[in-house]
Amino acid sequence: MEAETLAIAQEIDFSMWALFARATLIVKLVMLMLIIASFWAWSIIIQKIIIYRKARAEAEVFDRRFWSGEPLDELFEEIGPDPDGQSERVFAAGMMEWRRSHRNDGGLIAGATARIDRSMDVAIAKEAENLQSGLSVLATVGSTAPFVGLFGTVWGIMNAFIEIAEQQNTNLAVVAPGIAEALLATGLGLLAAIPAVIFYNKLSADSDRIVASYEAFADEFATILSRQLDS
Q: What are the extents of the domains in the chain?
A: 25-230
**Residue 201's pLDDT band (boundaries 50, 70, 90)?**
very high
Question: Looking at the predicted structure, is the pLDDT value of residue 196 above 80?
Answer: yes
Q: How many CB atoms lie within 10 A of CB 82?
A: 9
Contact criterion met (CB below 8 Å) for 119 and 94: yes
Range 43-60 average pLDDT: 94
Question: Looking at the predicted structure, is the pLDDT value of residue 204 above 80?
Answer: yes
Contact criterion met (CB below 8 Å) for 115 and 97: yes
Average pLDDT score over the chain: 82
Residue 161: what pLDDT?
Answer: 76
Report the range of poorest mean pLDDT among 18-27, 32-41, 201-210.
18-27
**Residue 145's pLDDT band (boundaries 50, 70, 90)?**
very high
Range 53-63 average pLDDT: 91
Residue 126: what pLDDT?
Answer: 92
Question: Looking at the predicted structure, is the pLDDT value of residue 104 above 70?
Answer: no
Q: Which residue has the higher pLDDT, 224 or 106?
A: 224
Range 96-109 average pLDDT: 71
Report the range of poorest mean pLDDT among 34-43, 61-70, 134-143.
61-70
CA-derived radius of gyration, the chain:
29
Rounded (10°) angle between helices 112-132 and 86-100: 160
Range 110-136 average pLDDT: 88
